[in-house]
C-alpha cells in the first residue's frame, strides 16, 4: 500500500515521490557541513538540506556533527569549549581530498567554501538567496553542556530570518530533529508552528505500535530500522505520522523506501537519488 498525505503537509512531491534531503549537504561529493556541500546539493536539485548544529563557547551555532572537531578538521577539542574564531582558523575540508589519495600532495589553494567552518546563519543566508523553496532539517545534538540554550539560540536565529513561525495557512520550510525528546519539547513549547522529528537508531518497545513522543508528528528512523522492520513504516502512517528515513544511499534502500511510501529520504547522494526517482 502506498500512503498519500494531505497536500497541506507540503513535504511530498507526489504519491510515489518522497522529498529528497541532502544529509550534511551533498556530502558524498564535498566535505560534509561545508558551504560547498550545500551549494552542490542545491545545484543537484535537493528538496531539502539537513544539518547538525552545536553551540560554540561564545554562543554561535555552527554546523558540526561530532562533539569534538578531531574527525572533520585539523584541530582538536570540543565545539562547546571553542569560540567561533578558534574554529574559523581551522581547515574543515581538506581531509576529504586526502582520504581519496593520501599520497598525492595538494597543489591547489584550498577553497574557503570547502574548508571553512559553516555557521547556521551563513547556511540560512544561502537558502534565502537560492531563489526557490528549500526545506531545512536542523538536528540539535545531545547531550550538550548548553542544555536549553541550543534551542533558544536556534529559535532566535530562525526568528531573524522570519522562520520561527510560518505565515497563517502555510507549512514551515524548517523542521527540527533530535534523538532527544526533551529537545523537541522545548521547540514545541516555544515555537509550535515548527514541525519536529524524533530520530531513532532503534525502536523502543513503547513506540513499536507507531506512537511518538507527545506532540511529535514525524518519525526519523534509520534505514537499518526500515530494513529490519519494514512494517514499522505502515504502523507509523496508520498512527498519522510522516516518516523521514536516514541515511539512504544505496539504490536498493531507495527502492525499499519507495515501496514503503516513506515521505522523505535523507541521503549523502541527492543527485543519484533524484536520478533514480526519475527527477533528473
Fill in the DSSP letter of residue 141.
Answer: P
The pLDDT assigned to 126 comes to 98
Strand duo 48-55 + 218-221: pairing: unpaired
Top-level CATH class of 7-67+116-276? alpha beta
**Rounded distance, CA 268 to CA 22, Å?**
6
Residue 23 known to be catalytic? yes
Beta carbons within 8 Å of 248's beta carbon, 6+ residues apart = 223, 254, 257, 265, 266, 267, 273
H helices then E strands: how many in the chain? 11, 9
Cα-Cα-Cα-Cα dihedral sign, residues 272, 94, 67, 157? negative
Q: Longest Cα pair distance anywhere in the chain, in angstroms?
A: 56
3-state SS of 190-244?
HCCCCCEEEEECCCCHHHCCCCCCCCCCEEEEEHHHHHHCCHHHHHHHHCCCEEE
Residue whose C-alpha cell reads 581519496 in the numeric block: 100
Q: pLDDT tens, position by position, for the chain (280 residues)?
A: 222 333 334 344 444 699 999 999 999 999 999 999 999 999 999 999 999 999 999 999 999 999 999 999 999 999 999 999 999 999 999 999 754 444 555 556 679 999 999 999 999 999 999 999 999 999 999 877 788 999 999 999 999 999 999 888 899 999 999 999 999 999 999 999 999 999 999 999 999 999 999 999 999 999 999 999 999 999 999 999 999 999 999 999 999 999 999 999 999 999 999 999 999 9
Question: Of residues 23, 60, 237, 244, which has the active-site annotation?
Answer: 23
Question: Of residues 65, 237, 241, 244, which has the active-site annotation?
Answer: 65
- Cα distances (angstroms) measured from residue 214 to each of 156, 198, 270, 277: 23, 10, 31, 33
Closest CA to 270 of 38, 14, 114, 65: 38
The pLDDT assigned to 104 comes to 52
**Rounded distance, CA 110 to CA 123, Å?**
20
Written as nine digits, the cell of 210 is: 507507531
- The answer to whether 80 touches 57, Cβ cutoff 8 Å, is yes
The pLDDT assigned to 21 comes to 98
Residue 237 known to be catalytic? no
The pLDDT assigned to 186 comes to 97
Strand duo 61-62 + 48-55: pairing: antiparallel
The model's pTM is: 0.91
The pLDDT assigned to 103 comes to 54
Amino acid at each position: 500500500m502506498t500512503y498519500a498525505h494531505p497536500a497541506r503537509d507540503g513535504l511530498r512531491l507526489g504519491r510515489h515521490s518522497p522529498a529528497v534531503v541532502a544529509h550534511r549537504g551533498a556530502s558524498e561529493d564535498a566535505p560534509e557541513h561545508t558551504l560547498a556541500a550545500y551549494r552542490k546539493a542545491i545545484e543537484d536539485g535537493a528538496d531539502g538540506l539537513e544539518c547538525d548544529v552545536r553551540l560554540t563557547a561564545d554562543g554561535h551555532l555552527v554546523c558540526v556533527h561530532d562533539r569534538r572537531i578531531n574527525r572533520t578538521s585539523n584541530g582538536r577539542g570540543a565545539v562547546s569549549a571553542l569560540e567561533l574564531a578558534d574554529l574559523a582558523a581551522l581547515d574543515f575540508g581538506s581531509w576529504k581530498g586526502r582520504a581519496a589519495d593520501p599520497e598525492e600532495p595538494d597543489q591547489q589553494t584550498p577553497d574557503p567554501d570547502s574548508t571553512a567552518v559553516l555557521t547556521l546563519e551563513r547556511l540560512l543566508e544561502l537558502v534565502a538567496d537560492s531563489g526557490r523553496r528549500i526545506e531545512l532539517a536542523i538536528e540539535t545534538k545531545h547531550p550538550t553542556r548548553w542544555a536549553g540554550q541550543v534551542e533558544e539560540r536556534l529559535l532566535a536565529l530562525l526568528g531573524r530570518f522570519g522562520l520561527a513561525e510560518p505565515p497563517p495557512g502555510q507549512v514551515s520550510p524548517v523542521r527540527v530533529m533530535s534523538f532527544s525528546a526533551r529537545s523537541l519539547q522545548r521547540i514545541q513549547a516555544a515555537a509550535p508552528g515548527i514541525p519536529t522529528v524524533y530520530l531513532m537508531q532503534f525502536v523502543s518497545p513503547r513506540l513499536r505500535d507507531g506512537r511518538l513522543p507527545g506532540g511529535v508528528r514525524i518519525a526519523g528512523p534509520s534505514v537499518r530500522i526500515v530494513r529490519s522492520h519494514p512494517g514499522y513504516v505502515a504502523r507509523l502512517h496508520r498512527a498519522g505520522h510522516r516518516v523521514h528515513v536516514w541515511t539512504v544511499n544505496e539504490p536498493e534502500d531507495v527502492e525499499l523506501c519507495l515501496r514503503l511510501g516513506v515521505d522523505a529520504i535523507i541521503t549523502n547522494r541527492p543527485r543519484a537519488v533524484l536520478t533514480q526517482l526519475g527527477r533528473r
